[in-house]
Chain A
Amino acid sequence: SQTIHQWPATLVQPVGSPLSLECTVEGTSNPNLYWYRQAAGRGLQLLFYSVGIGQISSEVPQNLSASRPQDRQFILSSKKLLLSDSGFYLCAWSVMGVIINGYTFGSGTRLTVV
């Protein structure tokens, strides 16, 4: 069966520090991969998605970047964190295909920038 792993679960980082969040998927090939951010009490904002290795689509211009170095690995990064980067970061995957199926979300990373 397919599983998605996301780490770390919680993170407290100072303003201006770098960030690296990792997500890996097991049990499937060629997944669509996604990074979403959820501010406290708010909805789900799409940050990046990827339909293949090295293919990244950015939804919101900001100081974050994403990379997909391997088929089932998706990394979210920042060179210098801002206070506004605080939030709940969720990785998700879906089956590759013409029609989107439901996502499966990872357990999330709660990031607090201080």
Chain B
Amino acid sequence: GENVEQHPSTLSVQEGDSAVIKCTYSDSASNYFPWYKQELGKRPQLIIDIRSNVGEKKDQRIAVTLNKTAKHFSLHITETQPEDSAVYFCAASPSDTGRRALTFGSGTRLQVQP
């Protein structure tokens, strides 16, 4: 089945710096890659996603890039703010004929120092 690796497990940056979180996946047929943000004690919330027919997607300070050949995708946060501090999860969908569930990475705890 699908396996998603996520790095780093923790990331500390200064306010205003950029943060990059990277994920790799194993199933070359995966075609949907969302990113979730989970604040302490709260539910994960979708912040951005990308499909396999697109190489990059941007939403204000957040961007995601996808390299299907290398089977990796990354989350980029620019001009980080203290409220960006949270745990971030990447995920990958199965192929259309596979199991109908996302496989998540192990998470990255991002700390933005004011």
Q: Which residues of A contact B (CB under 8 A)?
A: 32, 34, 42-44, 46, 49, 51, 57, 59, 90, 98-108
Q: Which residues of B contact A (CB under 8 A)?
A: 31-32, 34, 42-46, 49, 51, 89, 93-94, 96, 99-107
Contact A49 B43 (CB under 8 A): no
- Chain A at the B interface: SS class: loop
- Choose one: B46, B96, B99, B106; the contact of A42 (CB below 8 Å): B106
Contact B101 A100 (CB under 8 A): yes
Contact B44 A44 (CB under 8 A): yes
Whether A100 touches B44, Cβ cut-off 8 Å, given contacts A43-B89, A43-B107, A44-B89, is no
Give CA–CA (A114, B49) in the complex, Å: 39
Contact B43 A105 (CB under 8 A): yes
Q: 26 A-B contacts, Cβ less than 8 Å apart? A: A34-B101, A42-B106, A43-B104, A43-B105, A43-B106, A44-B89, A44-B104, A44-B107, A46-B101, A46-B103, A49-B100, A49-B101, A57-B99, A59-B101, A90-B44, A99-B31, A99-B32, A99-B51, A100-B93, A100-B101, A101-B32, A102-B34, A103-B46, A105-B45, A107-B42, A107-B43
